[in-house]
Structure 1
Amino acid sequence: MPGAEGFCFALLLAFAIERPIYYLLKNSFKRNRPEQVVPGVIAVVVPADQFSFPSGHTSAAFCFATIAGMLLVGSYNPLFLWAAAIGLSRIMLAVHFPCDVMAGAIIGSTIAAISIDLVSTV
């Protein structure tokens, strides 16, 4: 399914898969946020939920970047820099550890690639 239609379908499919996996992992691992475990660390923002692993913002950003890069833009570089900046911001805001962000990037990119593969067979 080429073009904008394929992009939209792949994006919807990816987020329909990614969000439940993200919530399942977050509520299974129940990892505390940096502010809760590292003395002297104060989060710059109040997170929407309690647990840290994985980073949902990063997962969503890499999911979008992978699909847009593969199906629309044809170049990953600017989109992955954007997604990486989102991940870095989550660390700088003290709401995630680096491994939370890395896991989010892997989850988002992998689910996006699987979704693209599934959509391309339709």
Structure 2
Amino acid sequence: MIINKSWLYETDCQLFYLINKHNRLMLPMQYITHLGSAPLTIIPLLSLLLLTSGDMFTASIAAMAALITSHLIVMVVKHRTPRYRPYVSLKEAYVVKKPLKDHSFPSGHTTAAMAACTPFILMFPAYSILFFITSFLVGISRISLGLHYPSDVMAGWGLGFVSGVFFYAAVVALMS
């Protein structure tokens, strides 16, 4: 397991405690975190693929491709990067009642939220703040609930964003 007492790890822990110590946020965060779950990303995207056309359809294809690809990458990275979740390593971490058993790096929920939102951010800039806030809050919820370190979440945002940009560009190029 990766437990390195480096400056980076110590900073990660300090940021974790800064966000996680607000345990009164756990109830709303338990709902917000589901915005990055499989049902709440896949079902809306499938619905958009079936019911829309034009730019919405294009963004939906890109989002679905980014979501699937980034999920596969997350699975591989989690398997190859055996990092304990914060509630296992940090004694003072607040955690939800039913914690997860798999590894923490990177955050899959955060990756999914950002991968699904990025094509819509790019296609519909007038609504980009809503999509950005959604993916941001999913990431913060993962830390607040004691399930991820900030670096897990930042890696998820990065992976989701890169996947979203790549597939947005690819789908737009293919459909034009």
Structure 2: gaps spanning 5 or more residues: 1-52
Query: Which residue number in structure 2 is paired with residue 111 of structure 1?
Result: 163
Aligned residues: 122
Instruction: Give the drift of 1:80.
Output: 0.9
From 67, 88, 92, give the equivalent of 2:119: 67
Runs of 4+ in 1 over 6 A off after TM superposition: none
Q: 2:151 matched to 1:99? A: yes
Query: Which residue number in structure 1 is paired with residue 96 of structure 2?
Result: 44
CA RMSD of aligned residues (A): 1.8
Query: Which residue number in structure 2 is paired with residue 27 of structure 1?
Result: 79
TM-score between the two structures when normalised by the length of structure 2: 0.64
Query: Which residue number in structure 2 is paired with residue 79 of structure 1?
Result: 131
Distance in 2 (CA, whole Å) between partners of 1:65 and 1:76 is 9
Letter paired with 2:135: A
Task: Kindly indicate which of the two structures has a greater share of residues assigned to helix.
Answer: 2
Distance in 1 (CA, whole Å) between partners of 2:136 and 2:157 is 8
Instruction: Give the drift of 1:115.
Output: 0.3
Q: Which moved more, 1:67-76 or 1:57-66?
A: 67-76
Distance in 2 (CA, whole Å) between partners of 1:90 and 1:45 is 14
Instruction: Give the drift of 1:16.
Output: 2.3
From 54, 62, 77, give the equivalent of 1:10: 62
Q: Which deviations, in whole Å up to 9, do the C-alpha atoms of 1:32-71 show, x marking residues without a partner?
A: 0001111132421434441100001111111122111112
Distance in 2 (CA, whole Å) between partners of 1:10 and 1:77 is 19
Q: Which deviations, in whole Å up to 9, do the C-alpha atoms of 1:77-122 show, x marking residues without a partner?
A: 2211111111111101000000000000000000000001110111
Instruction: Give the drift of 1:8.
Output: 2.1
| Secondary structure at 1:76 match in 2 | helix
State the identity as a percent: 28
TM-score between the two structures when normalised by the length of structure 1: 0.90
Contact conserved, 1:7 with 1:71, CA < 8 A, in 2? yes
Distance in 2 (CA, whole Å) between partners of 1:4 and 1:81 is 19
Q: Which moved more, 1:93-102 or 1:5-14?
A: 5-14
Q: Which moved more, 1:24-33 or 1:34-43?
A: 34-43
